[in-house]
Amino acid sequence: MSTLLTGIGELVTNDPERTGDGPDGRIGVVERAAVVVEGSRVAWIGPAADAPAADAVVDAGGRAVLPGFVDSHSHLVFAGDRAGEFAARMAGTAYAAGGIRTTVAATRAATDEQLLSGARRLVDEMLRQGTTTVEVKSGYGLTVRDEARSLAIARTLTEETTYLGAHVVPEGTTPEQYVALVTGPMLDAAVEHARWVDAFCERGAFDVDQARTVLLAGMERGLRGRLHANQLGPGPGVRLACELGLAAVDHCTYLEDADVDALRDSGTVATLLPGVEFSTRQPYPDARRLLDAGVTVALASDCNPGSSFTSSMPFCVALAVREMGMTPAEAVWAATAGGARALDRDDVGVLAVGRRADLVLLDAPSHVHLAYRPGVPLVAGVWQRGRPVLGATTLPAG
Ligand SMILES: [Zn+2]
């Protein structure tokens, strides 16, 4: 079964073989384009006038199509919400890492079914906004049982699961005791359900030596490393991530020149999470500085109930453009191909022959509208692994 998606006014491919000069050069635009999808993969891309025949046809009506968003950072397995804490913060209370403990208590008290239905609702919400690949972390269990079941639940929704036992030190234990648990019995229980290991390296959470211990223990068991760092202030976390050759280090809000140099030299992706700065009234990270230095930048939602309860990658793109010095093309690349890099994936985030057919149809003529029309639900159709999951209709060919 093949489908021809034709009448595409602007196709964003992110294909390195199609990139060029100018502000949109990086995203490899093809105008008046068509895509042929066969099974779960892209089988052909080019000018609509040259498109081959297919079993079914979809007419995009001159609208824009881009790769599905790759959201490389989220915390979807939890119970309860923290709207009251958000309201208090907007009334002047500062954000502190310890608020995580509120969600931990609610998560431990929830059933597996409650946790799964909450996470599935958010994954569906993401899909409706064009996110076709999402990473999901544990980190609201903080016991052997609750971390393992959080990851097992996440695994039913995505292959990109991250063990974040080292989210915060729970009450009733010392940091030393807790790191021993996270690198011992908790890791034993988590490892079969996880692809990644992560830690929250920040004042009030884990220091750099503890973060290194957690990451190395996970990596020894075959997990790949990623890290939360430099969110609330400057610190050594970003340099640790670069030194260990992690795929990504996330937040990067407070950076010194040595951090930027280390990111550029190591190739570790800097994942920026502007929903957090929006929701905590913190200063935004300086994406322009990173891009000008040659650092690879990704955008992700950090969807979580405490510091960023948005599931919307279009919202993150709009914030990145308005507040962080990115061009629309840079932000769209960071939210698609950049997210794929941050997950060490080459099958998503790029539209080219053989890649996964994850596509988003915008009810707009170009990708620029994602930032130009903030807050407007522009996602009109989504295909995931070649299957229409939102809005798309196929017409019989001919
Ligand atoms: Zn996070």
Neighbours of ion ligand 1 (CB under 5 A): 302
Residue 75 annotated as lining a ligand binding site: yes
Residue 140 annotated as lining a ligand binding site: yes
| φ, ψ dihedrals at 26, nearest 5° | -65, -30
Q: Ligand 1 center to residue 264 CA distance, Å? A: 22
% of residues, the chain, pLDDT over 70: 97
Q: Ligand 1 center to residue 322 CA distance, Å? A: 22
Residue 231 annotated as lining a ligand binding site: yes
- pLDDT tens figures, 121-180: 999 999 999 999 999 999 999 999 999 999 999 999 999 999 999 999 999 999 999 999
Q: Ligand 1 center to residue 167 CA distance, Å? A: 9
Residue 306 annotated as lining a ligand binding site: yes
Q: Ligand 1 center to residue 250 CA distance, Å? A: 8
Q: Mean pLDDT over residues 257-286, rounded? A: 97
How many degrees, rounded to 5, is the angle at CA 177 between CA 171 and CA 179?
95
Residue 82 annotated as lining a ligand binding site: yes
Q: Which of 2-16, 79-93, 206-220, 325-339 is predicted least confidently?
A: 79-93
Q: Quick check: pTM over 0.95? A: yes
Number of other CB atoms surrounding residue 158 within 10 Å: 18
In the predicted model, what is the mean pLDDT of the chain?
95
By the 8 A CB rule, do 230 and 258 touch? no
User: What end-to-end distance do the CA atoms of the chain give, in Å?
Assistant: 15
- pLDDT tens figures, 359-392: 999 999 999 999 999 999 999 999 999 999 998 6
Q: Ligand 1 center to residue 61 CA distance, Å? A: 38
